Amino acid sequence: MKALITGASSGIGREMAKYLSSKGIDLVLVARDEAKLEDTKKEIKTNVEIITMDLSKKENCLSLYEQVKDIDILINNAGFGVFGEFTETDLETEINMIDTNITALHILTKLYLQDMKKKNSGYILNVASIAAFIPGPLMAAYYSTKSYVLNLTKGIYEELRHEKSEVKISCLCPGPTRTNFLPTAGVKFNTKLATAEYVAKYAIDKMFKGKLVVIPTLKIKTVMFLSKIIPHKIIARFTYIIQEGRR
């Protein structure tokens, strides 16, 4: 088997690469940071190809698809967040985030899913967040991108189920995890964070079982449950208070 992982240079993506390699799966690892990709490559036991690429650019996504064919697993992990008041955050940075978190994922999912459906086999794991379930004041655009990822995945899942396809698609929704994401987004957490290794292994295991929404910890499962019964206007107020304390 062969897996393509975006955002594979650090954090959850890197741990997913190591875990899949331990299962004997060959890898194609994609990220912007070549040096970190090379470091990841040193920890891989199976065949591995690294591709340094900025997936916020549509043409690069199309080029990646042309370069890498016949994969069995697609993991869309590339993404980042922007913290701050919506009227004050930098527009170009947010557009770049939207292109990375949404557009790149959309393109790669569509192209590789078309191939997988023809073979009637394959796995796709889209990485969203707990942010997908609730409104996110002070990270409004980021939360919205993750809602897109979750709902896109759910829609595709039902299409595949209706067609009785053997292709499996899942969406990982982790909570705060000990990765480079938080410093990049400019967010601080004082609570205990899940490890990237735990989240990665849990997600991969659930992906192979065909689980639609993958939630790694009980705390995040509780948040998801509360998001269904508490009005989002109230959730937004509490989220704002929590986010403001992380400045």
Catalytic residues: 142
Residue 32: CB atoms within 10 Å: 15
Task: Give 85's contacts (C-beta < 8 A, 6+ positions apart).
Answer: 138
Q: Report CA-CA distances (Å) from 25 to 16, 90, 132.
A: 11, 40, 30
